[in-house]
Amino acid sequence: MDGIGLGPDNPETNPLARVEMPFLQSLLGGRKLTASAAPYEAEDVALLALDAELGVDGLPQSATGQAVLMTGVNIPEELGYHYGPKPNPQVAGYLKNGNTLFSWLRAAGKKAALLNAYPPRYFSGIESGMRLYSSIPLAVTSAGYSLFTQEDFFEGKALSADFTGHGWRSMLKIAGAPVRSAQDAGEKLAELAQNYDFSLFEYWASDYAGHKQDMEGAIAQMEIFDDVLEGLVNVWDMDEDLILVTSDHGNMEDLSTRRHTDAKVPGLVIGKQHKSFTEGLTDLAGIAPRIRQHVQG
Ligand SMILES: [Zn+2]
């Protein structure tokens, strides 16, 4: 979830303090997804506040934040700066060098996927050089995994970036694109995840709502997300598998500014084995090695 930090319990500036997310709140013992909720631990869930600043001055940005998630390397510290939204050649170097989560999994013969579907205009933008990969698709494709296409989307192999698919009809004007309820999208996500040892879904509209300081839009997004999460958890194998919800940096949780924030980000881990994942986890750089360990055993 791009640009979602743990902010103050202030409904004037923080949509996450204002919105009702009944499913997530039920997981968190009635708490909302704000700074005061973390740390939290119950049988099926843990919520940590994770450091996205990583000891480097300036506001965390998407290219470096996501590259840290993909590599487990404190890239802002090595480079001396946060960078984004798209990777510069220095950040891209970390994602193309065969030392990322997706390349580790591929080398170990694991099935992995980015479950987002991309429309034709995305691929033509990449091919023409008009569009740069962001850090996550760059890590995925550099490791030799393919991105899902419109055809895959129509065949139900991947999900729309807005979860429900409405954006494919309204924004992309692609007639007949599949549309699901948010809860169905969550169930679909769980069903698709069963086909892989590791899968990832990337949601970026939350960062956009933060930059636009769009309270109504942010609330609507989080209401949809709550239904997605309910569908996902309802059909999830809670004994064997883990769901991780996290972010690259703060933004949406403080709509008093258009900029990113230095807030900690959520590390929400759902599933009975959450303890083995969260133990000692304090920042974004700790995530990739833990996923590797869980998947590779
Ligand atoms: Zn941003």
Centre of ligand 1 from the C-alpha of residue 176, in Å: 31
Whether 94 has a pLDDT exceeding 80, the answer reads yes
Centre of ligand 1 from the C-alpha of residue 90, in Å: 19
Centre of ligand 1 from the C-alpha of residue 277, in Å: 27
Whether 64 has a pLDDT exceeding 80, the answer reads yes
Tell me the torsion sign for CA atoms 256, 260, 265, 268: positive
Q: Name residues whose C-beta falls within 8 Å of residue 79's C-beta, 6 or more positions apart in sequence.
A: 64, 90, 91
207 neighbors 254 (Cβ within 8 angstroms): no
**Percent of the chain predicted with pLDDT > 90:** 99
Centre of ligand 1 from the C-alpha of residue 223, in Å: 21
The predicted pLDDT at position 237 comes to: 97
Centre of ligand 1 from the C-alpha of residue 62, in Å: 6
Whether 297 has a pLDDT exceeding 80, the answer reads no
pLDDT digits (tens, 9 = 90+) for 12-49: 999 999 999 999 999 999 999 999 999 999 999 999 99
The predicted pLDDT at position 120 comes to: 96
Q: Name residues whose C-beta falls within 8 Å of residue 28's C-beta, 6 or more positions apart in sequence.
A: 37, 40, 45, 47
Whether 241 has a pLDDT exceeding 80, the answer reads yes
Residues of the chain by 3-state class (helix, strand, coil), percent to 5: 45, 10, 45
The predicted pLDDT at position 43 comes to: 97
Centre of ligand 1 from the C-alpha of residue 140, in Å: 21
String of b and e for 217-236 (b: at least 16 CB within 10 Å)? bbbebbebbbbbbbbbbeeb
Listed residue (63, 70, 33, 38) closest to 51, CA to CA: 38
Phi and psi dihedrals of 203, rounded to 5?
-115, 120
Centre of ligand 1 from the C-alpha of residue 119, in Å: 22
Neighbours of 65 (CB within 10 A): 30
Centre of ligand 1 from the C-alpha of residue 203, in Å: 12
Centre of ligand 1 from the C-alpha of residue 209, in Å: 9
Distance CA 116, CA 190 (A): 13
Query: What is the rounded average pLDDT of the residues 127-143?
Result: 97
Mean per-residue pLDDT of the chain: 97
Phi and psi dihedrals of 274, rounded to 5?
-60, -30
Distance CA 66, CA 22 (A): 29
Which pTM does this prediction carry?
0.97
Centre of ligand 1 from the C-alpha of residue 67, in Å: 14
18 neighbors 253 (Cβ within 8 angstroms): no
Tell me the C-alpha to C-alpha distance, in Å, between residue 221 and each of 5, 40, 193, 238, 267: 15, 24, 22, 25, 19
Centre of ligand 1 from the C-alpha of residue 234, in Å: 31
pLDDT digits (tens, 9 = 90+) for 199-228: 999 999 999 999 999 999 999 999 999 999
Distance CA 83, CA 269 (A): 27
The predicted pLDDT at position 246 comes to: 98
Centre of ligand 1 from the C-alpha of residue 272, in Å: 33
Distance CA 133, CA 72 (A): 19
